[in-house]
Structure 1
Amino acid sequence: MNTKDLAYFQELTIQKNFSKVAEIFEVRQPTITTAIQRLEAEFGAQLVIRDRVHHSLTITPSGQQLAEHAIRILRDLSMAHQEIQNLVQNQISLGLPPIIENYYFPKIAAKLKAKRLLRNIITVEGGSVDLRKGLLAGNMDMALLGSIEPLSYANLMADEFDRHPFYIFVSKNHPLADRKRVFFNELRHDDFVLFENSFVHNQAFNKLTRRNHFRPDVVFRSNDTHIIMKLVAQNVGITYLTDIVDHQDNVVRLELMDEEQPEFITSIVYRTSHILTPAQLQLLTIMHATLKG
């Protein structure tokens, strides 16, 4: 079976149009038609029904079943290409959310350099939510991820190594700046500056807003910690971050007094199906020894 035929078929189930699929793959339409015919001969079943009068296309039950398998086959094939490419190039792709990168990566960088591994590390930055999806898709070999619950996925191996509380950060000119502790409910009338939605901080924040029954006024979102802190320093709004973030002298950290607060959990994560290379095993050993020590 030609895996390209599966790629054509999968796109056809989305577009429902042979011409559009041919345009996407930059091939002639007969190429798509022939690919579908090969698949139908391979599986001995009609996969699509074309209504030329009404210019419509229907995916048959057999086609729907094949489409489910095609998604997994093409994903696994793409993952295999990426993993083998990294192996051949002796590269390790490591997913790192910005706060985790700033706080934890310097702790292991010197040891990676001593083992001559540092130059082989390619970092992939983003929020923990997006990085977890990217890890499952094979876009990276392993990651350090944040979560508010222990990670439990059938396809991922997660090894927790640290936990930290969340805090409220306000400008030194904010009315609450002279306080050391606050209840989250006291912040219902404040403006917030927060991370983009791909960051796990939002899950913790939303959990508290639901518990306290108010809809926060989020005036700005960013994926840059330094921008968020600068805006807080200028009293544009307050923010909700873990205590491992770097903050400026003119920003005040306030402890939350609410019971059963979410915690920022950090874990070393990689796919259960991924066969670790010697270099990746070295990286894993260094991270375990340093971050869990």
Structure 2
Amino acid sequence: MNINHLRYFQEVCKYENITKASEVIHISQPSVTSAIKDLENELGFQLFIRNGNRISLTPEGAHFLEMTNDMLLSFDNFYSKAVELGECHTTTLRVGIPAILGTFFFERIIPVFEQQNPNIHLTIHEVPTITGIRMVNDAHLDFLIGVIEDDFCSCNFKLIFETDLVFFSGRDHPLAKKKVISKDMLANQPFIMVPKGSYHYKVISERYKAPPLNTVLYSNQVSTIAYMLKNNLAATILYKQVFEKDKNVCSRPLSEPLTAKIGIFWKKNIYVTNAMKKFIQFTKTIQA
């Protein structure tokens, strides 16, 4: 039984579609189909019921998926422990972080962590928090740095720090003269919203349902947002650290504060390697 075939089977179950699974794992669709057929021939029972492009697990297939998940998790933990036996082993950690958070978080992580830990290399992936949680659970990321919410209990997590979201505008924006920004003040102002799938989109959409925001741009590109702010084309609400060093952008507190808990997430029930432990420990030193 080929362990790669088991991973293909796991991905097909996740997407309930062989073509989609093959795209995600970058293996040709015929190869994935062949792997599934080989598994079925070896096991002596059918794994899937096929209905056009959609497939669903047979009862036997559902039980086999549970066994496969347990076995692959055990194997991955075994592999992680095995590679640590080499004293000079170089480890790569895949870290996800939302684009907006990354604007002020990168400088706090890179290159400091790698200077302190030359055998640990970080690869950074820009992903929204909600998407990143799914990628951690699917083992496509080792860590996510994002916003802690109650419905993210599917992962292990630790708090790094808390921060506030504030109102940002250009210096000549009409609301720049206000000391505090209320909900009603934003009703008719052109507004920049971050895209769906992010913590920002969720909390701001919920907070400002009525009266609704006059959203003119959806973007998580800080350079684009900065251009809109400095030219008084729109305003936005972001973490207070994003533009704190920019003298051409004005920040004001919200009358109803929005506080975000920034944390680090990793998958449950996995072997936490020495490299992972060092990164978790390092995040405790990061200040807001």
Is the structural similarity TM-score above 0.5?
A: yes
In structure 1, the partner of 2:212 is 215
Identity %: 15
In structure 2, the partner of 1:291 is 286
Separation in structure 1 between the aligned mates of residue 132 and residue 77 of structure 2, nearest angstrom: 18
In structure 2, the partner of 1:169 is 168
The verdict on how the C-alpha distance between 1:11 and 1:92 changes in structure 2, with shifts beyond 3 A counting, is closer
In structure 1, the partner of 2:139 is 138
Separation in structure 2 between the aligned mates of residue 31 and residue 50 of structure 1, nearest angstrom: 16
In structure 1, the partner of 2:30 is 26
Deviations 1:236-266 (A, max 9, x none): 22111111112533322122112xx431110
| Matching of residues 134-283 of structure 1 within 5 Å | 134-147=135-148, 149=149, 152-154=152-154, 156-210=155-209, 213-246=210-243, 248-258=246-256, 261-283=257-279
Q: CA deviation at 1:127?
A: 1.9
Separation in structure 1 between the aligned mates of residue 286 and residue 31 of structure 2, nearest angstrom: 50
Code of the aligned partner of 2:91: N
Paired residue total? 276
Q: CA deviation at 1:284?
A: 2.1
Q: Normalization by structure 2: what TM-score? A: 0.75
Code of the aligned partner of 1:26: P
Code of the aligned partner of 1:254: R
Deviations 1:73-126 (A, max 9, x none): 698599779968997652122222234333344334464244233861211222
Separation in structure 2 between the aligned mates of residue 49 and residue 161 of structure 1, nearest angstrom: 46
Q: Tell me if structure 2 keeps the 8 A contact 1:127–1:199.
A: yes
The verdict on how the C-alpha distance between 1:226 and 1:70 changes in structure 2, with shifts beyond 3 A counting, is farther
1:193 is paired with a residue whose SS is strand
Code of the aligned partner of 1:93: R
Q: Tell me if structure 1 keeps the 8 A contact 2:16–2:55.
A: no
The verdict on how the C-alpha distance between 1:152 and 1:146 changes in structure 2, with shifts beyond 3 A counting, is closer
Separation in structure 1 between the aligned mates of residue 54 and residue 158 of structure 2, nearest angstrom: 47
The verdict on how the C-alpha distance between 1:226 and 1:75 changes in structure 2, with shifts beyond 3 A counting, is farther
Separation in structure 2 between the aligned mates of residue 86 and residue 190 of structure 1, nearest angstrom: 56
Separation in structure 2 between the aligned mates of residue 57 and residue 151 of structure 1, nearest angstrom: 29
Which consecutive unaligned segments of at least 5 residues does structure 1 have? none
Code of the aligned partner of 1:65: A
Q: CA deviation at 1:219?
A: 1.5
Code of the aligned partner of 1:112: F
1:145 is paired with a residue whose SS is strand
In structure 1, the partner of 2:129 is 128
Separation in structure 2 between the aligned mates of residue 254 and residue 235 of structure 1, nearest angstrom: 15
In structure 2, the partner of 1:101 is 102
Code of the aligned partner of 1:249: K
Separation in structure 2 between the aligned mates of residue 245 and residue 76 of structure 1, nearest angstrom: 38
Separation in structure 2 between the aligned mates of residue 81 and residue 25 of structure 1, nearest angstrom: 29
Q: CA deviation at 1:218?
A: 1.8
The verdict on how the C-alpha distance between 1:138 and 1:251 changes in structure 2, with shifts beyond 3 A counting, is same
Separation in structure 1 between the aligned mates of residue 107 and residue 53 of structure 2, nearest angstrom: 57
Instruction: Indicate which of 27, 40, 59 corresponds to 1:36.
Output: 40
Code of the aligned partner of 1:207: E
Separation in structure 2 between the aligned mates of residue 281 and residue 121 of structure 1, nearest angstrom: 14
Separation in structure 2 between the aligned mates of residue 285 and residue 231 of structure 1, nearest angstrom: 38
Separation in structure 1 between the aligned mates of residue 203 and residue 32 of structure 2, nearest angstrom: 50
Q: CA deviation at 1:267?
A: 0.7
1:173 is paired with a residue whose SS is coil
Q: CA deviation at 1:145?
A: 1.3
Deviations 1:113-147 (A, max 9, x none): 44233861211222222222211111222232124
1:256 is paired with a residue whose SS is coil
Identify the range of structure 1 (274-283 vs 157-166) with the bigger mean alpha-carbon deviation: 274-283
The verdict on how the C-alpha distance between 1:24 and 1:162 changes in structure 2, with shifts beyond 3 A counting, is same
Which consecutive unaligned segments of at least 5 residues does structure 2 have? none
